[in-house]
Structure 1
């Protein structure tokens, strides 16, 4: 996949929008030193090229009732495309799963899951993961403290 060329102004637009996607076009234009019409065209181009993939509200996890963040490593029962596809389908349909990544090394996947409490984690593991035909083994880790939680990319301006 070809990476679109970004100049300093494009990078500034992306950096500002990562921090606050609710910026009006006029506010964004002022911060990146462009006219509102030039800024609007650049933002539209960045959206069309897929660099801006969407705009989202950041919901406070704890205030929404999800007290626990859990990382679960998973080993598959069989290592073939069909089994991996079954596991991917499971991950896609479980709303508790925030991230799921295929790994190199000892474990096949690491999954970030949010639950309301320990009972929710237990139910998730025992009712969703362990009975699934694709899964052989799981290991859970509960996050005690989050030192950094960011989706911002290090776009240098």
Structure 2
């Protein structure tokens, strides 16, 4: 039985295997991983089995472009649910026909993210009605244009451990994006509160920090929340200048926004 309640300590071989699986799991074989990690194929298969049993690897998913697959629409619902009911409602939301992904956040108003696919806007409206009937309050929603994934750079056997790319990007219609990225030590925003960053023009009016993960905690951002190195921040940006937004959380000195 999977030991999901016990922390699983990864070694370098585990990390390298996970990096290879995250990078291109569809085409990565045990033999290919073994060659890179310099262990036997049997060792790789045993390690993967152990990681699955421990719940570290929770599944394998194909990332599908639903627009290309029949012209379907993909919609993101940002929802609010009572914290005590969050897990139960997440499972009930996942059972709605058309829903393909549900993400539960520890804190914040938009603490449940639901992704659904439909052939028409009527299908998406039906999903919205079903969510509401479950007692799930929809705070905002938007059509998803693209979604991008990157492997976790510190697990990269050939890298330097730095992570220049966001861990997760959801591209919405109207040039909006939801980005998750780790704050680097010398980032312009590091050590500043969100209020200070806005006043100094480091955060522009089109950028909203909607979640912060810090060590074992999930923080609800507000004006006085200080952003620290190694925080994992979730950002809603309604600007097309995505690179400018990312540089706020990376080492460097981007131009300060006027006004």
SS at match of 2:78: strand
Aligned residues between the structures: 150
Measured in 2, the distance between the counterparts of 1:63 and 1:75 equals 31
- Segments of 5+ residues of structure 1 without an aligned counterpart are none
Measured in 2, the distance between the counterparts of 1:47 and 1:86 equals 24
Measured in 1, the distance between the counterparts of 2:71 and 2:151 equals 22
Larger strand share, 1 or 2: 2
Residue 25 of structure 1: how far off its partner (Å): 1.9
**Contact 1:101–1:110 under 8 Å retained in 2:** yes
**Contact 1:73–1:108 under 8 Å retained in 2:** yes
Query: In the alignment, what sits opposite 2:160?
Result: none
Tell me the C-alpha RMSD between the 2 structures.
3.1
Measured in 2, the distance between the counterparts of 1:150 and 1:14 equals 14
Change (3 A) 1:100 1:66: farther
- 1:113 matched to 2:116: yes
Query: In the alignment, what sits opposite 1:65?
Result: 70
- 1:14 matched to 2:33: no
Query: In the alignment, what sits opposite 2:93?
Result: 91
Measured in 2, the distance between the counterparts of 1:107 and 1:24 equals 38
Measured in 2, the distance between the counterparts of 1:69 and 1:134 equals 22
Residue 87 of structure 1: how far off its partner (Å): 3.4
Measured in 1, the distance between the counterparts of 2:104 and 2:52 equals 26
User: With structure 2 as the length reference, what TM-score do the two structures score?
Assistant: 0.47
SS at match of 1:61: coil
- Segments of 5+ residues of structure 2 without an aligned counterpart are 157-259
- 1:150 matched to 2:149: yes
Measured in 1, the distance between the counterparts of 2:152 and 2:111 equals 25
SS at match of 2:148: coil
**Contact 2:90–2:104 under 8 Å retained in 1:** no
Change (3 A) 1:89 1:121: same
Change (3 A) 1:119 1:26: same
Measured in 1, the distance between the counterparts of 2:32 and 2:115 equals 35
User: With structure 1 as the length reference, what TM-score do the two structures score?
Assistant: 0.71
